[in-house]
Amino acid sequence: MKAIGIDLGGTNIKVAVVDKKKGILEQTSVPTNAELGRDHVLDRIAATVNSMTEIKGAIGIGFGLPGMVNLDQTTVYNPPNLPGWDAVNAADEITQRTNIPCRIENDANVAALGSLHFGKGKQFDSFVMLTLGTGVGGAIIHNKKLFKGTQGMAGELGHVIIDYHGPLSNSVTRGTIEAYVGQRFLSRFATDMISQHPNNVLYKRFHGNFDKLEPVDLTREAELGNDLAIEILMKTGQRLGYAIINYTHILDIRKYILSGGVSKAGSWITEPAKEIIKKQMMAPFQVDFELLVEDLGNDSALLGASGLAFDSFA
C-alpha cells in the first residue's frame, strides 16, 4: 500500500511517496517561498505531488504543517511562518488541486505518527512524543490513535508549567518546559552558565559568539568529560523529568519518545530525567515506564505524514 506524505516547513516543501512496508520510495524537495503567499504555496505543493513518478495507486495524502489543526484534520489555524494563512482548509485545497483525498495534521502529531508507523512507537499501543526543537511540541498516541481532545488541540506539551514563577518562553505562559528545554532557551541557559566559568573550554570557544552555541556543542563537550557541559545537560534533563511526571500523572501513559535536535543529547538528558522520575513520580506509574529517543531522523515528518494517510484512507 502506498500513500503520499507532505512536510511543509518555512524553508522547504518536501513530498514523498511512501510504501507502508518499504518506507520512502521517492522523495523531492522544493523551496517554500512562503512570502509569495498561501495560494502560491498550495499550488507549489500540488504541482510537486502531481510530478511524483510513483504516485499511481497512492490511497491518499497526509500533510504535515505547523499550527493548530481541527478535529477533522482538514483546517489549520494561523500557522507560524506562513504569512496569509489564517484559517485554511488545506486538505480541501490540496484535494482540489490533485484529485487525491487529503488530511492534515500539525508537525508534532505527524512526528508521533511517524514513530507509530515506522519508528520506536511501533512497539507501543500508547505513547507520548516530545519534539525537542526550537520550541517543544508534543503528541499523545492512545490505543494507536492520536488523542486530540475536544477541539483538536490536545498535546501542547511544551506549554506545560513546571514553575509558575519561572521564565517566559514564546507563549504567554510562564515557566513552561519549553522555556527550559526549547533550543533557544537552552542556549540562553547554557550561555548564562558558561559566562560564569571563564576557564572552561566552552567559554574560550564561544565568548563573544554565544549565539553560535548549539546543543550539539554541549553534547560533544560532555562526551569529552567537560563537567560544565554535563551539568547544563543534566539540569535540562531534570526539568524534562518534571514535565514528564505531569504528563504521566494526568494521562497514565508510560512510554515516552523524544525527537528533535535537543534529543540528540541522548542519555546526557534522559538519565537525569529518569532519576527525577524515579524519585518524584508516584510509585504505581513507575511500572512499565520507558523513555526512548527516536532515530528516524529527517525522514520522520514524511513518514508520519504518510502514516496519517494510511490511518485515514486505508
84 DSSP 8-state letter: T
Q: Tell me which stretch binds a copy of itself (CB under 8 A): 27-35, 97-105, 227-235, 282-290.
A: 282-290
Contact status: 104 vs a copy of itself (CB under 8 A): no
Contact status: 148 vs a copy of itself (CB under 8 A): yes
Give the rounded distance of the alpha carbon of 57 from its chain centre. 29
Between 67 and 260, whose beta carbon lies closer to a copy of itself?
Answer: 67
Q: Is 151 within 8 Å of 159 (Cβ atoms)?
A: no
CA 68, CA 85: separation in Å to the nearest integer? 12
| Dihedral (CA of 26, 89, 83, 161) sign | negative
Q: Which grid cell is 16?
A: 514523498
CA 100, CA 92: separation in Å to the nearest integer? 10
Query: DSSP states of 218-267 as a string?
Result: HHHHHHTT-HHHHHHHHHHHHHHHHHHHHHHHHH---EEEEESGGGGGTH
Contact status: 140 vs a copy of itself (CB under 8 A): yes
Contact status: 247 vs a copy of itself (CB under 8 A): yes
Contact status: 144 vs a copy of itself (CB under 8 A): no
User: What does each C-alpha distance from 304 to 81, 120, 299 come to in angstroms?
Assistant: 21, 12, 8
| Dihedral (CA of 310, 94, 13, 112) sign | negative
Contact status: 237 vs a copy of itself (CB under 8 A): no
Between 172 and 198, whose beta carbon lies closer to a copy of itself?
Answer: 172
Between 40 and 142, whose beta carbon lies closer to a copy of itself?
Answer: 142
User: Which of 90, 160, 228, 233 is close enough to bind a copy of itself by CB under 8 A?
Assistant: 160
208 DSSP 8-state letter: T
Contact status: 179 vs a copy of itself (CB under 8 A): no
Closest distance between a copy of itself and the C-beta of residue 153, in Å? 4
Residue carrying C-alpha cell 507520548: 128
Residue carrying C-alpha cell 560564569: 196
Contact status: 56 vs a copy of itself (CB under 8 A): no
Q: SS3 for 103?
A: strand
Q: Which grid cell is 43?
A: 499550488
Q: Tell me which stretch binds a copy of itself (CB under 8 A): 14-22, 44-52, 53-61, 141-149.
A: 141-149
Q: Tell me which stretch binds a copy of itself (CB under 8 A): 15-23, 42-50, 215-223, 247-255.
A: 247-255
Contact status: 274 vs a copy of itself (CB under 8 A): no
User: Which of 162, 190, 232, 305 is close enough to bind a copy of itself by CB under 8 A?
Assistant: 162
Closest distance between a copy of itself and the C-beta of residue 220, in Å? 28
Contact status: 155 vs a copy of itself (CB under 8 A): yes
Name the site residues for a copy of itself (rule: CB under 8 A).
68, 77, 125-126, 138, 140, 142, 148-157, 159-165, 171-175, 239, 242, 245-247, 249-254, 279-285, 287-288
